[in-house]
Amino acid sequence: MTEPVLQHLVVVPEGTPGGPRRMAWWDWPCTGASNGHVVVCVHGLSRQGRDFDVLARALQPHARVVSVDVAGRGHSDRLTDPSGYQVPTYAADIARLLMLLREQHPAAAIDWVGTSMGGLIGMALAAQPALGIRRLVLNDVGPVIQWEALQRIGSYVGTDPSFDSEQQAIDYLATISTGFGPHTAEEWAALSRPMLRQRDGRWWLHYDPAIAAPFRQMASDAQAARQSAQAGEALLWALFDAITCPTLLLRGADSDLLSAATAEAMSQRGPRPRVVTWPGVGHAPTLVADDQVAVVRDFLLAD
């Protein structure tokens, strides 16, 4: 298999302080007969683009895979204003990438695979027909995000821990990621290493701790946060209902972020996605296990 190439796109957000910055993305070239098929993969809140290595290798004989490091994560630049670490910023950034991909291949079929936050970004963009997303995979996320999950995530995101060794850091990530489900030691190490960077003799998480700023703001006023969440749900349902492309919804049976009731409601409205649920997995399936990869691959490569 051909390894990915790290690419950068300069984004110049309108009305955002700090001027131009770079968004990184991993470009997995198609190793088969290229038909212009592109799969864009976008990670969860504190993760990065190499989360999709296993899926990318499975798709690479059939499609070009583009796996993004969202602003403030991995190799993408950090924001000068932490209040910008929200879905509208990310959606605007990646919309520019979609336009670049269209310029490179005007007739390309562009699909989207989004885990958690990456799924929310995908909903925002798939609801815009002009961007031409052909197929959409939402991995353990929907218009209703359970409050308990936000509290759990907010308890560790942005704490900026450091570690004496790489293995100690890998073990830490395992403790906060039990929802990912069972993995071998090798699988977990492969998922964890791109999350880490060595600096001053210690190991650190490879993202800007300031991505937690919106969570801290919510925690400072729980009542206002709940009201804001309700307003956000209404907007997300409107976006979801506007999606017309074929959609696949993945869910961990033990997910504390996407409830079974929300998944069922999603299956009855908007794009009416097929729902696939995996037992023994919470938030969120990592798309590393063979059965998870096969479901996504078959959906994206279907005629």
pLDDT digits (tens, 9 = 90+) for 67-88: 999 999 999 999 999 989 999 9
Q: Which residue has the higher pLDDT, 149 or 138?
A: 138
In this predicted structure, the answer to whether residue 271 has a pLDDT above a threshold of 90 is yes
In this predicted structure, the answer to whether residue 176 has a pLDDT above a threshold of 60 is yes
CA atoms of 9 and 199, how far apart (whole Å) = 26
Alpha helices (H) along the chain: 53-59, 87-104, 117-126, 147-154, 166-175, 185-192, 213-220, 222-242, 260-267, 290-301
- In this prediction, residue 156 carries a pLDDT of 85
In this predicted structure, the answer to whether residue 14 has a pLDDT above a threshold of 80 is no
- In this prediction, residue 236 carries a pLDDT of 95
Q: Pick from 211, 199, 223: which is nearest to 156 by CA?
A: 211
* Average of per-residue pLDDT values in the chain: 92
- In this prediction, residue 283 carries a pLDDT of 96
Token digits for 43? 């990670």
pLDDT confidence band for 279 (50 / 70 / 90): very high
Q: Span 190-214, mean pLDDT?
A: 94
Q: Give the Å distances, CA to CA, from 251 to 197, 248, 267, 284, 287.
A: 30, 10, 12, 7, 11
Which amino acid is located at 26 in the chain?
W
Q: Give the Å distances, CA to CA, from 192 to 96, 109, 174, 235.
A: 28, 31, 9, 33
pLDDT confidence band for 219 (50 / 70 / 90): low
In this predicted structure, the answer to whether residue 191 has a pLDDT above a threshold of 70 is yes
- In this prediction, residue 85 carries a pLDDT of 93
Q: Which residue has the higher pLDDT, 39 or 200?
A: 39
- In this prediction, residue 157 carries a pLDDT of 87
- In this prediction, residue 228 carries a pLDDT of 67
CA atoms of 84 and 71, how far apart (whole Å) = 9
Per-residue pLDDT tens over the stretch 41-76: 999 999 999 999 999 999 999 999 999 999 999 999
CA atoms of 35 and 64, how far apart (whole Å) = 9
| pLDDT above 70 coverage of the chain, percent | 93
- In this prediction, residue 217 carries a pLDDT of 67
- 253 close to 280: Cβ distance less than 8 angstroms: yes
In this predicted structure, the answer to whether residue 90 has a pLDDT above a threshold of 70 is yes
Structural element, H or E, at residue 176: none
* Choice among 220-224, 236-240, 241-245 with the minimum mean pLDDT: 220-224
**Number of H helices and number of E strands within the chain?**
10, 11
Domains of the chain (ranges; CATH) run 5-301 (3.40.50.1820)
